[in-house]
Amino acid sequence: MARINPELARQAGESTLAYLTRVRTKMPSLPIPLIQKIAYMHEAARFRPQVCSTAILCLSSVNCG
């Protein structure tokens, strides 16, 4: 994002939710529920005590090959 628009570079210590909310000010087409889901998943993954493979993340109806 920093290459596309330097104003959208992530700041040190900025949470994922705060960053994506700031990105949304420049890209209003991003749905708020999507931003919240991405931020939640990112925070959950950061503190996950075990390895999480892509097979776990893939839904059965989605081809994640």
Q: What is the pLDDT of residue 59?
A: 55
Identify whether the C-beta of residue 61 lies closer than 8 Å to the C-beta of residue 47.
Answer: no
Report the C-alpha gap between 16 and 10 in whole angstroms: 9
Q: What is the pLDDT of residue 56?
A: 64
Residue 47: CB atoms within 10 Å = 6
Query: What is this structure's pTM?
Result: 0.64
Per-residue pLDDT tens for 13-44? 899 999 999 999 988 999 999 999 999 888 88
